[in-house]
Chains A and B, each alone.
Chain A
């Protein structure tokens, strides 16, 4: 057989501004495509993306040529497989247990959500990105990770520095210099906080990791926290804004949910419609084939879950937000051993707590100039602004 076709026209800038029309064309014409600008083989059909994630022996997470290792100053669990990955992941798992979600983090989130909603002014135009979605996501994360004294601004600055560094495929100096500054601040605070939590343990991630019977190496504890900081703010923030945009531009759906109370359906639809993490890279470990095309060992495939979530074979009018659609599994949380650790936390805090709370508090919230909402991102994607009037 032959290699997959090679594209030299798709530009990174197009993928960042709006990748969905491109993915639609790829699903129809070239669902396995080597894309020169990204240096990866794009896999855009749902039936092909999931089996890749489920088969880590053939498709390894250890993609060697990304800026992530430089940005994190570490080889993190995100890029490991097998037992190494599992040991580091398991170290944090007690924090995210169902019992902790229900009895510790859920009440903590509810209290915070009330505080942040109390501060929002009524009857004027405000942007929910900086006023609610960013800081609330940062604040709950700082508590869950065991870094409660970090301010929302600190958390958001560190998170963005890590993301920008890990996504710095141009290998420019500035993002790496910025993330190095963030490391100094994070390392100092985490070291101090680890001592406090050894004396007074709680259910936070830092605490369960440092107080474990057989703790993982301290350097891995720190890397785990940084992975959570890097991924744990933008994802809830972006999906919160996406869901609110979807509901506020589809008032008929919103009214129906106010009656049914099925806010979880809006949550699932929002994360399906615009997946906060749009793509994942996997290194091919053995020669294989996908849809009849040769995929050689050493190639890096990119599963485009953003595209899988719009696949015509699974979703009717997948490009439209429809919180009332028939529930069909999406791939936004991934699958296999790297399945998102924050899945249940996000479903609970945003789907079950925040959405009912915000529409109970502001039942007549209106979106202002929805056409001016700017969507951005290829790897991570979400709205950069969401102007509303609360009443």
Chain B
């Protein structure tokens, strides 16, 4: 079983079981992680599923590509080098257990 660990802006940690192949955004919505809004449902047309990948996991998860960075311009919280749109991160065996930090706001 693959899993994702979400850490909210105030430090609250939630470990969620994920289906391999699902995106981090889908995993969060299925687990009612309310800090992920995902207004466009994963079409990379908004920036309301913005997350920060934990420093230790960034290499394995990968950085945002150019299209994603452009869309991150709309993010409500500060965009950092670890920023990603969670609809663009797929959960797999390689990155199972990744730590995902949630921003303090999405709108």
What is the minimal beta-carbon distance from B27 to any residue of chain A, in angstroms?
A: 14
| Dominant SS among interface residues on chain B | loop
Residue from A327, A339, A344 within 8 A of B41 (CB atoms): A339
**Residue interface bits B45-80, CB-to-A below 8 A is 1, else 0:** 110100000000000000000000011011000000
Q: Which single residue of chain B is at the shortest CB-CB distance from A53?
A: B41
Q: How far is the CA of A341 from the CA of B45 in the complex (A)?
A: 8
Judge whether A5 is part of the interface by a CB distance below 8 angstroms.
no
Q: How far is the CA of A98 from the CA of B70 in the complex (A)?
A: 6
Judge whether B22 is part of the interface by a CB distance below 8 angstroms.
no
* Residues of chain B lying within 8 A (CB to CB) of residue A48: none
Within 8 A of B (CB), among A85-120: 97-99, 102
Known: A329-B107, A341-B45. A335 touches B70 (CB 8 A): no
**Residue interface bits A24-64, CB-to-B below 8 A is 1, else 0:** 00000000000000000000000000000110000000000
**Residue interface bits B28-40, CB-to-A below 8 A is 1, else 0:** 0000000001111
Q: How far is the CA of A329 from the CA of B29 in the complex (A)?
A: 13
Judge whether B105 is part of the interface by a CB distance below 8 angstroms.
yes
**Residue interface bits A316-343, CB-to-B below 8 A is 1, else 0:** 0000000000010100010111010101
Judge whether B1 is part of the interface by a CB distance below 8 angstroms.
no
Contact A99 B41 (CB under 8 A): no
* Residues of chain B lying within 8 A (CB to CB) of residue A238: none
Contact B107 A339 (CB under 8 A): no
What is the minimal beta-carbon distance from A80 to any residue of chain B, in angstroms?
A: 14
Residue from A268, A335, A336, A337 within 8 A of B107 (CB atoms): A268
Contact B73 A98 (CB under 8 A): yes
Q: Which of B45, B46, B71 has the most CB of A within 10 A?
A: B45
Q: Which single residue of chain B is at the shortest CB-CB distance from A337?
A: B43
* Residues of chain A lying within 8 A (CB to CB) of residue B38: 335
* Residues of chain A lying within 8 A (CB to CB) of residue B74: 98, 344
* Residues of chain B lying within 8 A (CB to CB) of residue A333: 39
What is the minimal beta-carbon distance from A24 to any residue of chain B, in angstroms?
A: 25
A-B contact pairs, 20 of them (CB 8 A): A53-B41, A54-B41, A98-B71, A98-B74, A99-B73, A268-B107, A327-B107, A329-B107, A333-B39, A335-B38, A335-B40, A336-B43, A339-B39, A339-B40, A339-B41, A339-B43, A341-B45, A343-B39, A344-B46, A344-B74
What residues of chain A have their CB less than 8 Å away from a CB belonging to chain B? 53-54, 97-99, 102, 268, 327, 329, 333, 335-337, 339, 341, 343-344
Contact B70 A99 (CB under 8 A): yes
**Chain B residues with a Cβ closer than 8 Å to the other chain, count:** 15
What is the minimal beta-carbon distance from B107 to any residue of chain A, in angstroms?
A: 6
Contact B73 A335 (CB under 8 A): no
Residue from B37, B41, B71, B73 within 8 A of A336 (CB atoms): B41
Task: Kindly list 17 other residue pairs between chains A and B, CB separation below 8 angstroms, not including A99-B70, A335-B40.
Answer: A54-B41, A98-B71, A99-B73, A102-B73, A327-B105, A327-B107, A329-B39, A329-B107, A335-B39, A335-B41, A336-B41, A336-B43, A337-B40, A337-B43, A339-B40, A339-B45, A343-B45
Contact B40 A336 (CB under 8 A): yes
What is the minimal beta-carbon distance from A345 to any residue of chain B, in angstroms?
A: 11
Q: Which single residue of chain B is at the shortest CB-CB distance from A98?
A: B73
Contact B46 A339 (CB under 8 A): yes
* Residues of chain B lying within 8 A (CB to CB) of residue A344: 46, 74
What is the minimal beta-carbon distance from A291 to any residue of chain B, in angstroms?
A: 19
Which 10 residue pairs are nearest across A and B when measured between Cβ atoms? Answer: A98-B73, A339-B40, A336-B41, A54-B41, A335-B41, A329-B37, A337-B43, A339-B45, A98-B70, A344-B74
Q: Which single residue of chain B is at the shortest CB-CB distance from A347?
A: B74
Contact A337 B41 (CB under 8 A): yes
Q: How far is the CA of A335 from the CA of B87 in the complex (A)?
A: 13
Q: How far is the CA of A138 from the CA of B31 in the complex (A)?
A: 42
What is the minimal beta-carbon distance from B44 to any residue of chain A, in angstroms?
A: 10
What is the minimal beta-carbon distance from A282 to any residue of chain B, in angstroms?
A: 14
Q: Which single residue of chain A is at the shortest CB-CB distance from B70?
A: A98
Q: How far is the CA of A239 from the CA of B48 in the complex (A)?
A: 21
